[in-house]
């Protein structure tokens, strides 16, 4: 941890510990009155050693702790690990299973972004109703998760070689109904929050992250795309069936809190488009291959990179021919973006009242960073 700034009138205060459902953390601020000179993220309160746990679990049973890295975005956590196993084992996945995976990943992305959107509304101090809206509207997605997988949050639906279940009868129609409902609701979100002058005053021009700084500091996901950088693993290193669908990578050029908020808002719209295409175009066929739950993977190493709700999620997997990974290293999007968050007070004039708005524009999930 950095030493306190030894300067007249500068004091270190503790903002937290915080627990906004996403895990515990503490933010230290070196302040002079209301002005913040330095931000220090004191991470590690919920370190669970998932990387080490995976070494002592079979490839199948390891999916369960990976899902729990970010409970609000479990599908995009799981697909990263499962894809790495499939690469290491040179395993084929049935086409229909890829379409189902894509649908669930985008539903999970919307679930994650709705949570982030609601927290951003809360952090401005003006819009508690919007957080309640996002909480209620996420139920539409959770009901679909439950019908398809049997669980509402950590559903462990992906496994090497496919998915556990096919669509139940009438499921595609329910997906289309959910898409229509959420599209109508987002018009209300835009009018109530994004174009609200009070929200604009709190977010416009705050915590600017220039493109050069975003790249230099290793930003990822909406935090990076909010600085106008056009990078998205779904398009740049395609997996599932993203390269077979019509969708766009969303960027904003303002580079501030509002830009990062708008990226997430518009990404929800793109995710709804993907959900609709999957429901209308999914091909027939099997959803799983013949896979042994106690499979062994040849010796070697591979890397998978996927686009989770918070950005690029990487798995570096080492195998030694046994039924467990030899080593697993996880590149967490939250950890990268928290490093960016620490630097924002050095790049901008930041005040204590801005901290909640700024950190929620980064959208951290502390369990993801601590792993």
Alpha-carbon distance 25 to 62, whole Å?
Answer: 26
User: Which string of DSSP letters, residue by residue, matches 181-202?
Assistant: HHHHHHHHHIIIIIT-HHHHHH
Residue 110 lies in a domain: yes
- CA torsion sign for 223, 228, 229, 232 is positive
Q: What is the pLDDT of residues 143-193, one digit of tens each?
A: 999 999 888 888 888 889 899 889 999 999 999 999 999 998 888 888 877
pTM over 0.85: yes
Q: What is the pLDDT of residues 68-98, one digit of tens each?
A: 888 888 999 999 999 999 999 888 999 999 9
For the chain, give the longest Cα–Cα distance.
70
Residue 50 lies in a domain: yes
Confidence class for position 1, pLDDT limits 50, 70, 90: low
Confidence class for position 17, pLDDT limits 50, 70, 90: low
Residue 75 lies in a domain: yes
Residue 112 lies in a domain: yes
Q: Which of these, 216, 136, 218, lies nearest to 182 by C-alpha position?
A: 136
Q: What is the average pLDDT value for the chain, to the nearest integer? A: 88
Residue 285 lies in a domain: yes
CATH of the domain at 257: 1.10.645.10
Residue 336 lies in a domain: yes
Residue 1 lies in a domain: no
Look at the chain and report how many structural domains it folds into: 1
Alpha-carbon distance 48 to 66, whole Å?
Answer: 11
Which domain, by its residues, includes 79? 11-370
Q: Which of these, 322, 362, 271, lies nearest to 62 by C-alpha position?
A: 322
Residue 293 lies in a domain: yes
């Amino acid at each position: 941890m950095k030493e306190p700034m030894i300067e007249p009138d500068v004091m270190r205060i503790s903002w937290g510990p915080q627990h906004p459902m996403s895990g515990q953390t503490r933010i230290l601020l070196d302040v002079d009155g209301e002005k913040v000179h330095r931000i220090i993220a004191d991470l590690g309160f919920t370190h669970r050693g998932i990387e080490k746990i995976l070494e002592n679990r079979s490839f199948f049973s390891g999916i369960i702790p990976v899902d729990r890295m970010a409970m609000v975005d479990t599908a995009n956590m799981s697909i990263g690990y499962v894809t790495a196993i499939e690469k290491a084992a040179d395993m084929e996945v049935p086409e229909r299973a890829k379409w189902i995976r894509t649908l669930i990943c985008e539903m999970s992305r919307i679930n994650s972004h709705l949570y982030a959107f609601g927290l951003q509304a809360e952090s401005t101090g003006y819009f508690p109703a919007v957080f309640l809206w996002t909480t209620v509207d996420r139920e539409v997605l959770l009901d679909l998760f439950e019908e398809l997988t049997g669980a509402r949050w950590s559903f462990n639906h992906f496994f090497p070689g496919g998915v556990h279940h096919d669509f139940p009868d009438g499921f595609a129609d329910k997906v289309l109904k959910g898409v229509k409902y959420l599209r109508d609701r987002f018009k209300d979100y835009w009018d109530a929050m994004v174009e609200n002058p009070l929200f604009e005053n709190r977010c416009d021009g705050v915590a600017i992250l220039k493109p050069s700084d975003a790249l230099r500091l290793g930003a990822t996901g909406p935090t990076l795309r909010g600085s106008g950088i056009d990078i998205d693993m779904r398009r740049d290193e395609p997996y599932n069936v993203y390269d077979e669908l019509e969708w766009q990578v969303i960027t904003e050029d303002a580079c501030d809190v509002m830009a990062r908020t708008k990226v997430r808002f518009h990404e929800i719209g793109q995710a709804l488009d993907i959900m609709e295409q999957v429901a209308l175009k999914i091909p027939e066929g099997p959803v799983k291959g013949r896979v042994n739950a106690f499979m062994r993977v040849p010796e070697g190493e591979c890397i998978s990179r996927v686009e989770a709700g918070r950005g690029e999620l990487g798995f570096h997997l080492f195998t030694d021919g046994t039924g467990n990974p030899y080593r697993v290293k996880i590149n967490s999007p939250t950890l990268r973006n928290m490093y960016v968050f620490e630097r924002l007070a050095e790049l901008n004039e930041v005040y204590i009242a801005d901290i909640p708005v700024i950190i929620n524009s980064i959208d951290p999930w502390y369990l993801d960073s601590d792993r």
